[in-house]
Amino acid sequence: MNERGQENPIEREGGGIETATSFDELYVAIRAQGKIVGSREEYEPEEIIDLIEGVRLGGIRLNYVTRSNGIRDAVRRLLQVEKPGE
């Protein structure tokens, strides 16, 4: 469900943050969620995507990415696929 309580098309199709197999799929799922409420603040989808890109480039630590909606776990999992052994 998005912030307005409406079902997201990506959720209907069985896709989403937990099932993303690439960062592109993850970004689609994050955008479909709309605003994401973290433990300390609300995040716009593009803010989260920018943080994730920073993690991928090595300039930002993973713990700066929110755990809400399983985002941090998804990033960790996709990083392992993208850069095995690191």
pLDDT category at 11 given cuts 50, 70, 90 is: very low
> 6 phi and psi, to 5 degrees?
-95, 145
Domain layout of the chain by residue ranges: 9-82
What average pLDDT does this structure show over 16-43?
A: 94
Say what the pLDDT of residue 86 is.
60
What whole-number distance in Å separates Cα of residue 36 and Cα of residue 72? 13
The structure tokens listed for 52 are: 């994730």
Which residue intervals of the chain are DSSP H helices? 9-12, 23-33, 45-57, 71-82
Say what the pLDDT of residue 56 is.
96
Amino acid symbol at 72:
R
